[in-house]
Protein backbone atom coordinates (compact mmCIF):
# COMPACT_ATOMS: atom_id res chain seq x y z
CA UNK A 1 0.00 0.00 0.00
CA UNK A 2 0.95 3.66 -0.01
CA UNK A 3 0.00 5.52 3.14
CA UNK A 4 2.42 8.44 3.35
CA UNK A 5 4.46 10.55 0.92
CA UNK A 6 6.32 13.82 0.37
CA UNK A 7 5.03 16.48 -2.01
CA UNK A 8 6.93 19.74 -2.33
CA UNK A 9 5.68 21.53 -5.48
CA UNK A 10 3.26 19.06 -7.08
CA UNK A 11 4.83 19.78 -10.48
CA UNK A 12 6.14 17.30 -13.05
CA UNK A 13 9.04 18.26 -15.34
CA UNK A 14 7.85 18.43 -18.93
CA UNK A 15 4.15 18.62 -18.12
CA UNK A 16 2.70 22.12 -18.26
CA UNK A 17 -0.17 22.64 -15.83
CA UNK A 18 -2.54 25.43 -14.83
CA UNK A 19 -2.63 25.82 -11.05
CA UNK A 20 -6.14 26.40 -9.73
CA UNK A 21 -5.58 26.70 -5.99
CA UNK A 22 -7.38 29.43 -4.05
CA UNK A 23 -5.95 32.85 -4.98
CA UNK A 24 -3.69 34.34 -2.32
CA UNK A 25 -3.37 31.12 -0.32
CA UNK A 26 0.13 29.76 0.26
CA UNK A 27 0.29 25.97 0.19
CA UNK A 28 3.36 24.76 2.07
CA UNK A 29 5.09 21.52 1.06
CA UNK A 30 4.12 18.34 2.87
CA UNK A 31 7.16 16.31 3.84
CA UNK A 32 5.11 13.70 5.71
CA UNK A 33 1.79 13.87 3.88
CA UNK A 34 -1.01 11.67 5.19
CA UNK A 35 -4.58 10.65 4.29
CA UNK A 36 -7.34 13.24 4.85
CA UNK A 37 -4.93 16.06 3.92
CA UNK A 38 -5.03 18.17 0.75
CA UNK A 39 -2.48 17.71 -2.05
CA UNK A 40 -1.85 18.95 -5.56
CA UNK A 41 -3.39 16.59 -8.11
CA UNK A 42 -2.98 16.86 -11.90
CA UNK A 43 -6.12 16.27 -13.98
CA UNK A 44 -7.13 16.83 -17.60
CA UNK A 45 -9.98 19.25 -18.27
CA UNK A 46 -12.56 17.34 -20.37
CA UNK A 47 -13.45 20.33 -22.55
CA UNK A 48 -10.25 22.36 -22.98
CA UNK A 49 -7.81 19.48 -22.74
CA UNK A 50 -5.51 21.53 -20.50
CA UNK A 51 -3.81 19.96 -17.53
CA UNK A 52 -4.99 21.46 -14.26
CA UNK A 53 -3.23 21.27 -10.89
CA UNK A 54 -5.93 21.25 -8.22
CA UNK A 55 -6.09 20.75 -4.47
CA UNK A 56 -7.88 17.48 -3.62
CA UNK A 57 -8.26 15.51 -0.41
CA UNK A 58 -6.55 12.11 -0.09
CA UNK A 59 -9.28 9.54 0.64
CA UNK A 60 -11.80 8.76 -2.11
CA UNK A 61 -15.49 9.54 -1.59
CA UNK A 62 -17.51 7.89 -4.41
CA UNK A 63 -19.89 10.36 -6.07
CA UNK A 64 -22.89 8.16 -5.28
CA UNK A 65 -22.25 8.14 -1.51
CA UNK A 66 -25.26 9.45 0.43
CA UNK A 67 -23.66 10.06 3.81
CA UNK A 68 -20.24 11.70 3.99
CA UNK A 69 -19.54 10.10 7.38
CA UNK A 70 -20.68 6.65 6.37
CA UNK A 71 -18.10 4.09 5.31
CA UNK A 72 -14.34 4.09 4.87
CA UNK A 73 -12.59 6.54 2.53
CA UNK A 74 -10.19 4.48 0.42
CA UNK A 75 -6.66 5.84 0.08
CA UNK A 76 -5.45 3.03 -2.22
CA UNK A 77 -6.88 0.73 -4.89
CA UNK A 78 -5.24 -2.35 -6.35
CA UNK A 79 -4.30 -2.24 -10.03
CA UNK A 80 -5.47 -5.82 -10.40
CA UNK A 81 -9.11 -5.03 -9.51
CA UNK A 82 -9.65 -1.30 -10.07
CA UNK A 83 -11.32 -1.80 -13.46
CA UNK A 84 -13.94 -4.17 -12.03
CA UNK A 85 -14.82 -2.98 -8.51
CA UNK A 86 -18.02 -0.87 -8.44
CA UNK A 87 -16.47 1.73 -6.13
CA UNK A 88 -13.64 2.49 -8.54
CA UNK A 89 -14.36 1.40 -12.11
CA UNK A 90 -16.26 4.53 -13.18
CA UNK A 91 -13.54 6.88 -11.96
CA UNK A 92 -10.84 4.64 -13.44
CA UNK A 93 -12.45 4.81 -16.87
CA UNK A 94 -13.12 8.57 -16.87
CA UNK A 95 -11.33 10.34 -14.00
CA UNK A 96 -7.70 9.30 -13.85
CA UNK A 97 -5.10 11.66 -12.40
CA UNK A 98 -1.43 12.02 -11.53
CA UNK A 99 0.05 12.95 -8.16
CA UNK A 100 3.55 14.42 -8.35
CA UNK A 101 5.57 13.28 -5.32
CA UNK A 102 9.20 13.46 -4.23
CA UNK A 103 9.22 10.16 -2.35
CA UNK A 104 6.95 7.73 -0.56
CA UNK A 105 7.39 5.91 2.73
CA UNK A 106 7.03 2.26 3.61
CA UNK A 107 7.60 0.17 6.73
CA UNK A 108 9.38 -3.18 7.13
CA UNK A 109 8.54 -5.60 9.92
CA UNK A 110 11.57 -6.66 11.99
CA UNK A 111 11.59 -10.13 13.46
CA UNK A 112 11.39 -10.05 17.24
CA UNK A 113 10.50 -6.36 17.41
CA UNK A 114 7.12 -4.68 17.76
CA UNK A 115 8.15 -1.46 15.99
CA UNK A 116 8.64 -1.46 12.22
CA UNK A 117 11.55 0.21 10.45
CA UNK A 118 10.42 3.01 8.12
CA UNK A 119 12.10 3.69 4.78
CA UNK A 120 11.94 6.46 2.18
CA UNK A 121 11.82 5.49 -1.50
CA UNK A 122 12.65 8.02 -4.24
CA UNK A 123 14.42 8.49 -7.56
CA UNK A 124 18.22 8.44 -7.41
CA UNK A 125 18.45 11.88 -9.02
CA UNK A 126 16.00 13.37 -6.53
CA UNK A 127 13.49 14.38 -9.21
CA UNK A 128 9.73 14.30 -8.57
CA UNK A 129 7.77 11.47 -10.17
CA UNK A 130 4.15 10.72 -10.99
CA UNK A 131 2.03 8.15 -9.21
CA UNK A 132 -1.27 7.04 -10.72
CA UNK A 133 -4.60 7.87 -9.14
CA UNK A 134 -8.31 8.34 -9.68
CA UNK A 135 -10.49 11.18 -8.44
CA UNK A 136 -14.14 11.89 -7.64
CA UNK A 137 -16.43 14.85 -6.98
CA UNK A 138 -19.01 14.50 -4.22
CA UNK A 139 -21.86 16.97 -3.71
CA UNK A 140 -23.39 17.45 -0.29
CA UNK A 141 -27.14 16.77 -0.73
CA UNK A 142 -28.15 19.74 1.44
CA UNK A 143 -25.45 22.42 1.19
CA UNK A 144 -24.49 21.50 -2.42
CA UNK A 145 -20.85 21.94 -1.46
CA UNK A 146 -18.48 20.05 -3.76
CA UNK A 147 -15.72 17.93 -2.21
CA UNK A 148 -13.07 16.49 -4.54
CA UNK A 149 -11.03 13.51 -3.41
CA UNK A 150 -8.51 11.02 -4.81
CA UNK A 151 -6.76 7.76 -4.14
CA UNK A 152 -3.48 6.18 -5.26
CA UNK A 153 -3.29 2.98 -7.29
CA UNK A 154 -0.87 0.27 -6.14
CA UNK A 155 0.74 -2.71 -7.84
CA UNK A 156 3.21 -5.47 -6.99
CA UNK A 157 6.54 -4.22 -5.68
CA UNK A 158 9.61 -4.13 -7.90
CA UNK A 159 12.82 -5.86 -6.75
CA UNK A 160 13.96 -2.82 -4.76
CA UNK A 161 10.73 -2.15 -2.85
CA UNK A 162 10.12 -5.89 -2.37
CA UNK A 163 13.00 -5.92 0.13
CA UNK A 164 10.67 -4.15 2.59
CA UNK A 165 7.09 -4.53 1.27
CA UNK A 166 5.08 -6.47 -1.32
CA UNK A 167 3.22 -3.45 -2.80
CA UNK A 168 4.18 -0.07 -4.24
CA UNK A 169 2.40 2.85 -5.95
CA UNK A 170 1.91 2.65 -9.70
CA UNK A 171 4.51 5.05 -11.15
CA UNK A 172 3.72 6.50 -14.57
CA UNK A 173 6.71 7.23 -16.81
CA UNK A 174 6.90 10.71 -18.43
CA UNK A 175 6.32 9.22 -21.89
CA UNK A 176 2.95 7.90 -20.68
CA UNK A 177 1.57 11.00 -18.90
CA UNK A 178 -0.69 12.01 -21.78
CA UNK A 179 -1.99 8.51 -22.32
CA UNK A 180 -2.81 8.01 -18.63
CA UNK A 181 -4.70 11.30 -18.45
CA UNK A 182 -6.51 10.85 -21.77
CA UNK A 183 -10.27 10.17 -21.62
CA UNK A 184 -10.10 8.33 -24.94
CA UNK A 185 -8.73 5.12 -23.44
CA UNK A 186 -10.89 3.67 -20.64
CA UNK A 187 -8.47 0.93 -19.56
CA UNK A 188 -4.69 1.58 -19.97
CA UNK A 189 -4.05 -1.59 -17.99
CA UNK A 190 -0.52 -2.14 -19.29
CA UNK A 191 0.69 1.05 -17.57
CA UNK A 192 -0.15 -0.31 -14.11
CA UNK A 193 2.97 -2.39 -13.59
CA UNK A 194 5.97 -2.26 -11.22
CA UNK A 195 8.33 0.58 -12.10
CA UNK A 196 11.93 -0.48 -12.84
CA UNK A 197 14.20 -0.61 -9.79
CA UNK A 198 17.32 0.81 -11.41
CA UNK A 199 16.38 4.55 -11.32
CA UNK A 200 15.16 4.30 -7.71
CA UNK A 201 16.80 4.32 -4.29
CA UNK A 202 15.76 3.44 -0.76
CA UNK A 203 17.09 4.34 2.69
CA UNK A 204 16.08 3.90 6.37
CA UNK A 205 14.69 6.91 8.24
CA UNK A 206 13.63 7.77 11.78
CA UNK A 207 10.41 6.47 13.33
CA UNK A 208 9.44 10.13 13.71
CA UNK A 209 7.69 9.62 10.37
CA UNK A 210 5.12 7.48 12.17
CA UNK A 211 3.36 10.66 13.34
CA UNK A 212 1.95 12.95 10.61
CA UNK A 213 2.54 15.81 13.04
CA UNK A 214 6.25 15.51 12.33
CA UNK A 215 6.17 17.30 9.00
CA UNK A 216 9.59 18.83 8.34
CA UNK A 217 12.24 18.31 5.70
CA UNK A 218 14.51 16.36 8.07
CA UNK A 219 11.87 13.59 8.26
CA UNK A 220 13.68 12.05 5.28
CA UNK A 221 17.17 12.16 6.77
CA UNK A 222 18.87 8.73 6.70
CA UNK A 223 19.52 6.85 9.94
CA UNK A 224 21.21 3.62 10.92
CA UNK A 225 18.59 0.86 10.54
Number of domains in the chain: 1
> Quick check: 71 pLDDT over 70?
no
pLDDT of residue 141: 79
Range(s) of the domain holding residue 115: 5-220
pLDDT, tens digit, for every residue of 168-204?
A: 999 999 999 999 999 889 999 999 999 999 999 999 9
Cβ-contact 154, 169 below 8 angstroms: yes
Residue 121 resides in a domain: yes
Question: At 86, is the pLDDT very low, low, confident or very high (cuts 50, 70, 90)?
Answer: very high
The residues carrying an active-site annotation are 2, 106
pLDDT of residue 39: 97
Residue 225 resides in a domain: no
Question: At 121, is the pLDDT very low, low, confident or very high (cuts 50, 70, 90)?
Answer: very high
Cβ-contact 156, 166 below 8 angstroms: yes
Distance CA 30, CA 102 (A): 10
pLDDT of residue 24: 63
DSSP 155-204: EE--TTGGGT-SEEEPEEPGGGHHHHH-TT-S--GGG-SPPPSTTEEEEE
pLDDT of residue 176: 97
Pairing status of strand 51-58 against strand 103-108: unpaired
Residue 87 resides in a domain: yes
What is the CATH classification number for the domain harbouring 47? 3.90.1680.10
Cα 134 to Cα 77, 85, 115, 120, 220: the distances in Å are: 9, 13, 32, 24, 27
pLDDT of residue 106: 97
Residue 133 resides in a domain: yes
- 196, 146, 135, 150: which is closest to 170 by C-alpha? 196
Residue 108 resides in a domain: yes
pLDDT of residue 97: 98
- Contact residues for 24 (Cβ-Cβ < 8 A; gap 6+): none
Residue 30 resides in a domain: yes
Backbone angles phi and psi of 217, in degrees to 5: -60, -30
pLDDT, tens digit, for every residue of 14-29?
A: 898 887 766 667 899 9
pTM as predicted: 0.94
Pairing status of strand 5-7 against strand 30-33: antiparallel
Amino acid sequence: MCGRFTQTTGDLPGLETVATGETGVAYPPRFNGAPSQEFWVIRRHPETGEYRKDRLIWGLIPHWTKDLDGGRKSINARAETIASLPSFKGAYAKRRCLIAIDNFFEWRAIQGQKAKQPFAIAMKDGSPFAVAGIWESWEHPETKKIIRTFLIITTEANELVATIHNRMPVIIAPADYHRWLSPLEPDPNDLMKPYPSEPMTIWPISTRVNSPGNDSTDIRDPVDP
